[in-house]
Amino acid sequence: MAEVSGSRRVVIVGGGLAGLFAARALRNAPVQVTLLDRAEHHLFPPLLYQCATGILPEGKITYPLRELLKNLRNVEFVLAEVTDIDAQRRRVLARRPLGEQMEFGYDHLILAAGVRQSYFGHDEYAAFAPGMKTVEDARKIRRRIFGAFEMAESAGDATERARWLTFALVGAGPTGVELAGQVREVATKTLRKEYRHIKPEHARVLLFDGGSAPLAMFGPKLSAMAVRDLKKLGVELHMGSIVTEADPKGLQVKDHDGHVTRYEVGTILWTAGVQAPPLAAAVAKATGAGQDRAGRLVVGHDLAVPGHPDILVTGDMMSLDKLPGVAEVAMQTGYYAGRKVALESQDKTQDKPFKYHDLGSAAYISRGRAVVSAFKMHFGGFIGWVVWLFIHIGFLTGWRNRVGALFGWWYAFTRDLRRNRGFTIDDMPIAAYSPADPAASSPKTPAG
């Protein structure tokens, strides 16, 4: 990227939806933009669960950042992990892939680094209960799900077989509900005729949540629809249940009455809670910014860190008016931040505070069933499913990804085919579950 004398320097941290929309809003501004990300691709997180259950390959929900940014002549991409900032000197500190330190000066800094999975103080659970925030997380979950059926097929006794055919999901938000429905569909449709010694349709899917109902944030009507559809699928709902202990062979939960129950399960998937990345704490220390309970940075209605108008926070990393961590918030805050910087680079000001326009939410339950909340309307069933399809096709980046997703859905929904489920014995986390392995009970066992 050719340097323009006198132009302002803008650093964007994160190439997700917020970072990408900020970069696009700056395309015609007289600024030099450096976008930093620890991944070389842009990811569409709402479809990670479809990658995890074999419907879509990761290439259909990701897009190379360099390809996306190649026509933005004032934007440069650098593969690096941001570790800290120096707010006084206006410097971003980052680490290259092999560990070398780098620094980037800025006049404006836009933070769009997203969030990570929260285990509520039990990070040791991550070794055997993967969350779903990255492509690698989706790969792990895919190996766990399909690997569990393989382990059940060759199990030596009925008890071991039953454990491997039991799946526990912790968290009944959209991710947990969508993933629970897909595991049941894998068992009852995709795999139902592929095994000789087990009946995949006998697989149990247990959904745990401390709240009173799944998808509570969608309102009582849609939550009730989700309960009905999940039960039809055969998902076992355990609401009002808090996980108190977990290990590679199962988990222990406590209900509202204080009763504690142990469940022997072969696969635990963690879909509850998020927390800000370590960078948020570093920024808070450098700027004095406040953080909410999840560690997200508290900002004003101009998205700026109080006392630091040159630092804007967007997307999931931002805490403002209890806005949800959804794609629409990321896109709108990213565009606002980029537009604000673009105006200031032309000696203009953005007088209007950020205002979120809620375009609705949607959650996939199973084939032909979804729930949608949009424009004060709440509906589900087949119509909700069709609307869900159009929403997600529209949000995917690139026409190749959109066409590829349509073909993937066609095979999965009409022929029960999930072709993206390849793995080998070396990919399976057998050591983490083997009773002969002395490390089996260790929370530091590699996730595999």
The CA distance from 111 to 337, in Å, is 10
How many other β-carbons are positioned within 10 Å of the β-carbon of residue 426?
7
C-alpha–C-alpha distance, residues 138 and 136, integer Å:
5
Question: Distance (Å, rounded) from C-alpha 404 to C-alpha 74?
Answer: 30
* Secondary structure of 291-333 in HEC code, one letter for each residue: ECCCCCEECCCCCEECCEEEEEECHHHEECCCCCCCHHHHHHH
SS (H, E, C) 42-80: EECHHHHHHHHCCCCCHHHCEEEHHHHHCCCCCEEEEEC
Going by C-beta distance under 8 Å and a sequence separation of 6 or more, which residues neighbour residue 394? none
* Residue spans of beta strands (DSSP E) within 96-153: 101-105, 108-111, 116-117
The CA-based dihedral angle spanning residues 54, 55, 57, 59, taken in that order and rounded to the nearest 10 degrees: -150
3-state secondary structure of 193: coil
Residues near 383 by beta carbon (within 8 Å), at least 6 away in sequence: none
Mapped onto helix, strand or coil, the DSSP state of residue 207 is strand
Which residue is associated with the tokens 């009970």?
441
Handedness of CA 385, 387, 388, 390 (dihedral sign): positive
The 8-class DSSP code of residue 216 comes to: G
SS3 state at 32? strand
Catalytic residues: 178
Q: Which residues pair with 378 in a beta bridge?
A: 373
Residue found under tokens 């680079």 = 345
Whether 366 contacts 53, CB under 8 Å: no
User: How far from chain centre, in Å, is Cα 341?
Assistant: 28
